[in-house]
Structure 1
Amino acid sequence: MQIKQTRDTMSEIYCDALRIRNTVFVKEQGVPFELEVGSPVDEAHSVHFVGYEAGNALATVRLLVDPNDKTHALVQRMAVLKEARGKGYANALLQQLLEFSKKSGLTLLTLHAQLSAKDLYEKFGFEVQGEIFKEAGIDHITMTYDKFTE
């Protein structure tokens, strides 16, 4: 898998990320488009990672650094197309995101995991914080990662 990243919301990579997110979150899971895309400012300030196989965009995740604390970031919008699930694409994206985060000087990552993805994040060292809550009508749990010095 080849992983590309961009901050350019006019790039083909970003368009591929949006297409994957629209397919998974809006069409498949029924999340309203306005909630999925969210703030244009967040989109513009995020690093968007997209995984490709044979030129096809199959998986994506975004990293949004906290504008008030440049050592903290949110991991958001992890999505893998249905036909590509179970092939390690989410693992590859998370590994790349963690390496990028460490090189960027981040010390804390936070995410809202869908319960179905909790085990994936735990495998990478994310820890559950708090209780289950609904986001866009789907059960989620807050998770954090702070193991950059280990």
Structure 2
Amino acid sequence: MTETEVRVVTTDAEREDAFFVRKTVFVDEQDVDEELEWDEYDEPDSPAVHFVGYRDGEAVGAARLRESESAVGKVERVAVLESARGEGWGRRLMDALEAKARERGFDRLLLHGQTSAEGFYHELGYETTSDVFDEAGIPHVKMEKRL
């Protein structure tokens, strides 16, 4: 039986695991410039909450939540390794992230979703609120969900 879990990052090792997933997906696979991938919300003292998904002890997914404005959270850096896609990791990560957002008192979540993932976010109840725009050389749309 496969052991699966999504954790809120609390250790340096978990942070490194989440960053490994992000680098693999965004930098290596999608050619996002490393200078665009990493920002102040990745610093250890940042109030952003990082998540990492594990399958049998191996990191396969990552996500980040931060406060955008009062009672509004911003979903960022949702990534699943190619070898784990189609196994429900995106949903697991988003379920954990939304639970944490509710715990923090957020009543709405915003995200910039790649257009290739727009259908996935619609299935989770997110609504598209913008036209397509470029972010890091990849087409995105703004989306939001009331919690």
Structure 2 gap ranges (5+): none
CA distance in 2, matches of 1:125, 1:57: 26
Pairwise CA RMSD of aligned residues?
Answer: 1.2
Aligned counterpart, 1:86:
86
Which of 48, 51, 55 lines up with 2:50 in the alignment?
48
CA distance in 1, matches of 2:28, 2:116: 18
Return the TM-score normalized by structure 1: 0.90
Runs of 4+ aligned residues of structure 1 deviating over 2 Å after TM superposition are: none
Q: Hey, what does 2:145 align to over in structure 1?
A: 145
Separation in 1, partners of 2:114, 2:139:
6
Hey, what does 1:24 align to over in structure 2?
Answer: 25
Q: Which position in structure 1 is the counterpart of 2:122?
A: 122
Q: Cα offset for 1:121?
A: 0.7
Q: Distance in 2 between matches of 1:22 and 1:45?
A: 21
The residue identity in structure 1 corresponding to 2:53 is G
1:36 paired residue number: 37
Tell me the amino acid that sits aligned with residue 128 of structure 1: T
Task: Provide the residue aligned with 1:63 in structure 2.
Answer: 65
Distance between the aligned counterparts of 2:126 and 2:63, measured in 1? 16
Gaps of 5+ in 1: none
How far is the alpha carbon of 1:130 from its aligned partner?
1.3
